[in-house]
Structure 1
């Protein structure tokens, strides 16, 4: 099998020159580049894919940074990204930042080293220099920064949360607890505002003790509800994710409460398991695959140098299922 040494011998140049001609052709003369290309054809040498792509200054790879690979929500978004990427001849490299800025930086560096062409970040936990203005092709999806220059695909989290709580109020609930995600997270800040706005507009006093912070896990939903269960008269619960809602549902059941007879529960996301829970979970549907597809389409436009939308807001839908009903006075066991 012909090697790069065979190409160098035929072209009458060093192997280093052959590498430069393939990877950074602008750093060799036109005459040398042509000699190398002729030698490659004559020898039958096949440069690897990375070398060919680097010669064209592209890797045909996009990195997707997720904050937690165990969260099922992100799997659906990534599926949407990949469906568009594969159709356009791109590969998707998935990077789990594990909620750390340091790990996110590892994946960001793949673009500067030309191992990837761009970044789609599903997390706002990014280095400060990126927040101040990304110097690499980048798209934010799901989590985002307000007044930020990076193109963003998102939902209106505040409005979606507000409508979910308004629904609970409309069927008679007045004492509505809340399990949030981390309150320094931009999505959670917006959803908390929506929750409070719905209460305020209905002239229901908000109680800071009615909000318990979770971390989007089953366990945190379970533990948060155990902390909230002492609240007098709570008849409904709004959770910032389906996963936490199902954790809370398990806790409620263990306390002897029936859902929705004793406690109505609303989640957020509409993961597949929400529909198959018992009872089926009322939830806010996010267009998860559409978020991913839109993010990749905007990334492709950025890579081509085309003008892109700065802020793309996709619609949500409240899906009413069996976990909600008009209230009956809440009692804990």
Structure 2
């Protein structure tokens, strides 16, 4: 059904129907407005969004750049963002950079050229090795955008993220409170901002307790399951280590596999804490104690800030969320 069909049934002009269905000011009586809406609803009328967007010089689309859709954290974040944007009648274009800086630049330009009304972006890990280039690119954007989860701390732009340093501290402090002193850490490469901050939180808690920190108690990995599996052996072989904190859950799951192969029991022989609270961890026999980052809350807050910027072009908003330690099955009291 088209506007002219509704107009004919309601005995009014097409302009009158358009004003009513778009909630525009009109002198049409309340009774006639109700009749127009009833006719539209009964006949399943859907507005021509292309024509509407053309008139408003918008596309009704938002771009979302994710670094790794295979990572359940980012796929969960993408779902949260898409769900929230749909409530506001936006179509979401979700693209995956594969944690590549060159892919990221290409996708960013592709979305801009596609005329998206706004963009949400989680930076690739490689982009932290090309910070000056990426910052220059972002500063030159005319399209409203927000950095989500991974950010450049000194860049003035819309951003929302969790306090990663606090999360690393909470995990380590919990172990310390249970009597652990020799605590290992599987970290990310130093240039990865979030992972490095989680490691700094670990150091904060250890120094606060005035515990010595052996350089051999920390190993570098890549935020992936295989990385956790391969890098954990050097820690699991050290008899003095009683607990390990991982910079994310995927690496912690890799540690659990390696421990099983080495016949090391968790938490009886060694305690383990992850980071992210990935949902599929719930199906495991031993559920991982972890630091929770609420993906839904992150997505909702990111959409709120972006839509606010798109409508008002006001001051840039920086929103820092607080993580939460979830105690499950992989830590024991010494």
> TM-score interval w.r.t. the shorter chain?
0.7 to 0.9
Structure 2 residue corresponding to 1:229, chosen from 223, 236, 258: 236
8 Å Cα contact 1:257-1:263 kept in structure 2: yes
User: Paired residue for 2:167?
Assistant: 160
Is the aligned partner of 1:131 residue 2:138? Answer: no
Supply the distance in 2 between the matched residues of 1:67 and 1:95 (Cα, whole angstroms). 9
SS of 1:73 mapped into structure 2: helix
8 Å Cα contact 1:58-1:114 kept in structure 2: no
Structure 2 residue corresponding to 1:190, chosen from 185, 197, 214: 197
User: Paired residue for 1:200?
Assistant: 207
8 Å Cα contact 2:156-2:316 kept in structure 1: no
Pairwise CA distance, 1:54: 4.5
Supply the distance in 1 between the matched residues of 2:199 and 2:248 (Cα, whole angstroms). 12
Supply the distance in 2 between the matched residues of 1:283 and 1:275 (Cα, whole angstroms). 11
User: Paired residue for 1:115?
Assistant: 115
User: Paired residue for 2:91?
Assistant: 91
How many matched pairs? 281
How do 1:1-333 residues align onto structure 2 when only pairs under 5 Å count? 53-123=53-123, 125-126=126-127, 128-132=132-136, 133-135=139-141, 136-307=143-314, 310-327=317-334
8 Å Cα contact 1:78-1:289 kept in structure 2: no
Supply the distance in 1 between the matched residues of 2:170 and 2:305 (Cα, whole angstroms). 29
> TM-score when scaled to structure 2?
0.79
Regions of 4+ moved over 4 Å: 48-52, 124-127
SS of 1:304 mapped into structure 2: helix
When the two chains are superposed, the root-mean-square deviation of aligned CA atoms in Å is 2.0
> TM-score when scaled to structure 1?
0.79
Pairwise CA distance, 1:138: 0.9
Output one character per residue of 1:10-48: Cα deviation in whole Å (capped at 9) or x when no partner. Answer: xxxxxxxxxxxxxxxxxxxxxxxxxxxxxxxxxxxxxx8
Give the gaps of 5 or more residues in structure 2: 1-47
Supply the distance in 2 between the matched residues of 1:123 and 1:113 (Cα, whole angstroms). 19
Supply the distance in 1 between the matched residues of 2:202 and 2:290 (Cα, whole angstroms). 14
Task: Sort the Cα spacing of 1:204 and 1:291 in 2 relative to 1 into closer, same or farther, 3 A.
Answer: same
Pairwise CA distance, 1:310: 2.1
Supply the distance in 1 between the matched residues of 2:109 and 2:211 (Cα, whole angstroms). 49
Supply the distance in 2 between the matched residues of 1:153 and 1:304 (Cα, whole angstroms). 18
Supply the distance in 1 between the matched residues of 2:248 and 2:54 (Cα, whole angstroms). 42
Supply the distance in 2 between the matched residues of 1:64 and 1:270 (Cα, whole angstroms). 22
